[in-house]
Homo-oligomer: A and B are copies of this chain.
Amino acid sequence: MDELDREQIDRFLDEQVMGRLGCHDAEGTYVVPLIYARDGQVLYVVTTDGRKIRAARRNPAVCFEVDEYDRKTGSWRSVIVWGRYEELHGDAKTAAIAALGRRHGTRRASSEKQAPEERATVAFRIVIDRATGRAVTRPASFS
């Protein structure tokens, strides 16, 4: 198993589209998949209101995980980020929505954009405090 360095971690975060936010509140731990975009040591997310947002507001020390698993070979890479949840409003929110749209296309910027009338759009960033990355590479001939 190899440890990824800072540059490899950043490159992996840029290659991937979806990560999983881990947050914790009085109800317990909650892990939810979200589309994100990295800019420096910050991850941007545009999503809808709900439990994850309520939990992260109360307890902004969050974890964010990104991985890739190759079913053919069993090779995998993963990055785990610890950081601070910061909700975005006004111009910062507009900029985050635009940045996610540029990165992934407007329809993908919010993974739950299907029913905008039902739940409010929330934009936030995770300011990365620490990140670790690991990889296991297995030969393609393994089956």
Contacts from A to B (Cβ < 8 Å)? 1, 17-18, 20-24, 28-33, 61-65, 67, 69, 71, 74, 76, 78, 80, 82, 105, 107-108, 111-112, 114-115, 136, 138, 142
* A65 and B1 contacting across the interface, CB-CB below 8 Å: no
Query: Can you name the residue of chain B whose Cβ is closest to the Cβ of A35?
Result: B69
Which residues of B lie under 8 Å from residue A111 when comparing CB positions? 76, 136
Minimum CB–CB distance from A73 to chain B (whole Å) comes to: 10
Which residues of B lie under 8 Å from residue A32 when comparing CB positions? 65, 78, 80
Is chain A's interface secondary structure helix, strand, loop, or mixed overall? strand
Query: Can you name the residue of chain B whose Cβ is closest to the Cβ of A104?
Result: B74
Which residues of B lie under 8 Å from residue A74 when comparing CB positions? 105, 107-108
The copy count of this chain in the complex is 2
CA distance A82 to B105 in the complex (A): 32
Which residues of B lie under 8 Å from residue A23 when comparing CB positions? 29
CB within 8 Å for A1 and B31 given contacts A17-B69, A67-B18, A74-B107: no
